[in-house]
Structure 1
């Protein structure tokens, strides 16, 4: 099955998933502004640049990465859970990158009005629900509280997904010292498939504020770090060689493959905690399908994300 195809059963599962997420938004936000279903708590929207070197290996000069240079970008850092809660418990964190003014043919236009390449990454190397049916059931359990969670948990076929969710949910002291993963796989030119992994320049950054950790300490730490110095990450790819070690459909298996650096993500010193930047972060849409055709997302979960992200973004703005 290609990324352009889906069965009637899959289509129904995607429609049911979208309806579930809309129902949650209606229930959670009875009036006024609707936030994202996931990653609603934003720590910051940061200016950045993505530098693509001239000396990449020939096989990696594909899509965006066959055009060396420095590209302007935005980075949105967030907590993954659907409700805005304290930063202190174990959780997943998100880092979404939007690279601006890219050359080439894109899959979907970006509402900001320029062609972009989006990378959506989290602190988990896997997506614990590995097919659309399980994905839909897991999201319903996460969104609709204890009763739905119990119904999900009593099914033995769901136990591995639950175990993986807890395994990769961790406490974090500093967002700039984490490794972030794309979860799903992507085309990389006409022949390769890859996953993207973002590794920090300084993995030893920790909590340095002279006060006890509050509910929003990750943002407070990020503000301090960005106001005092520049930071950075390396964008790497893992290349698919075989379905056992690097499965394309089963997102619950972490790929066993070397990290090959392909670009540098640079975050200049800046002050980002402004009303204008916060509003931009709320309005800005991110999707793995906003990008070049040469980096088309693959797999069932990515096919579901295409529809879900687009329809829910529009629904929030009604």
Structure 2
């Protein structure tokens, strides 16, 4: 039993901001600038955010049996197993050397999911969760995020050497803040993040989702000893621009990994707002509770030829999914069209067909 009764979902929990459509149009324009810059320079279109993958792994997500009613919701309503694929990445929209310290991302795609589909995802059977190794989003809404994105668009794929130098400076400042218990998510976004090993990190959706009759944030916690030993471990990125990819590849070949999928139910709309993802929900009031496990057997997490083709053929979006896990809030509403725009641009530029896989056997 949960310590507090979770708040039931109703559409009324969301509040539309003024001119959301205009903000989304401006976000698409900024993403177009990033995509056109990188695709021209690389001769190949990459993602407008989280462009650089460090590993792609196939595994199995197993939902726990006999969850209490509040947790037995959506795809977690019944015990059982799903095929899954996860992608580890860094958040920039250009392919940067790993010496630039940036937050890590984990995109999880669950296959063979049944249920009423979200708009634009009617023909699919996947459920995507996109997460970052920090519990909160840095902007209160899409309009504020747009201001940051416009700056990033102007600096995408330019002055790489300067970015490396700036990252070292920011990392020094951020390390000092971390030492006194006051890390800065903003400095980390700008290049001051530590060079942590992606497989040792905990990843959070940061933004809320519908959770069947309730609302929740989702997180993935490493639990295998080989992964928990990597928590906080850093990677020497000095001589190899792809040092993180090499470290992930080595670890996945050696031991694969296992993670808990946990959810944090909303128990107070005032203290746990839906529309402001900067607010971390109180874990004492509502702890993260395990609803499933993710098992990845030992495998090659990156091969320059084969994995790159798989990466091109896949797209991830929080709007790939079922209505029971509808993304909530202004930031998530803005992501619907912008994610689709980015995927459509890559598909058109690269001439590479994309579709949501029905099984792992369909992947390269």
Alpha-carbon distance between aligned partners in 2 of 1:230 and 1:44, rounded to the nearest angstrom? 12
Q: Does residue 297 in structure 1 map to residue 324 in structure 2?
A: no
Secondary structure, aligned partner of 2:334: helix
RMSD: 2.6
* Change in 2 beyond 3 A, CA 1:126/1:276: same
Q: Could you tell me how far apart the structure 2 residues matched to 1:27 and 1:210 are?
A: 29
Alignment of 1:33-52 (within 5 A): 33-52=44-63
Superposed CA offset, 1:15-61 (max 9, x none): 11111211222233226321111101011111011010112112111
Q: Structure 1, residues 213-252: CA drift from partner, whole Å, max 9, x if none?
A: 6221211111111111131111111111113432111111
The count of residues paired between Structure 1 and Structure 2 equals 301
Give me the whole-angstrom Cα distance separating, in 2, the residues matched to 1:317 and 1:167.
Answer: 31
In structure 1, stretches of 5+ residues that fail to align are 147-161
Give the alignment's TM-score, normalised by structure 1: 0.87
* Structure 2, unaligned runs of 5 or more: 1-10, 157-182, 349-364
**What is the deviation of 1:173?**
3.5
CA change 1:252–1:304 in 2 (3 A) is same
Instruction: Decide which moves more: 230-239 or 270-279.
Output: 270-279
Q: Deviations over 1:157-177 (max 9, x none)?
A: xxxxx9532257621332111
Instruction: Please state if 1:177 is matched with 2:200.
Output: yes
- 1:187 matched to which residue of 2? 210
CA distance in 2, matches of 1:42, 1:63: 29
**Superposition map of 1:95-134 within 5 A:** 95-108=106-119, 114-134=124-144
Query: Could you tell me whether the CA contact under 8 Å between 2:38 and 2:94 is conserved in 1?
Result: no
Secondary structure of 1:45 counterpart: strand
Distance of 1:175 and 1:238 partners within structure 2 = 22
Once residues 57 and 14 of structure 2 are traced to their aligned partners in structure 1, the CA distance between those partners, rounded to angstroms, is 33
Return closer, same or farther for 1:208/1:287 CA change in 2, 3 Å cut-off.
closer
Q: Answer yes or no: is the 8 Å Cα contact 2:197–2:234 preserved in 1.
A: no
Following superposition, the deviation at residue 65 of structure 1 comes to 0.3
Aligned to 2:293: 264
3-state SS of the aligned residue for 1:251? coil
Q: Which residue number corresponds to residue 159 of structure 1?
A: none
User: Which residue number in structure 2 is paired with residue 72 of structure 1?
Assistant: 83
* Equivalent residues of 1:2, 1:298 under 8 A apart: no
Shift of 1:3: 8.8
Is the Cα contact below 8 Å between 1:246 and 1:254 reproduced in 2?
yes
Alignment partners' CA distance in 1, 2:12 and 2:342: 24
Distance 1:4 1:205, change over 3 A: closer
CA gap 1:39/1:142 in 2 versus in 1, 3 angstroms: same
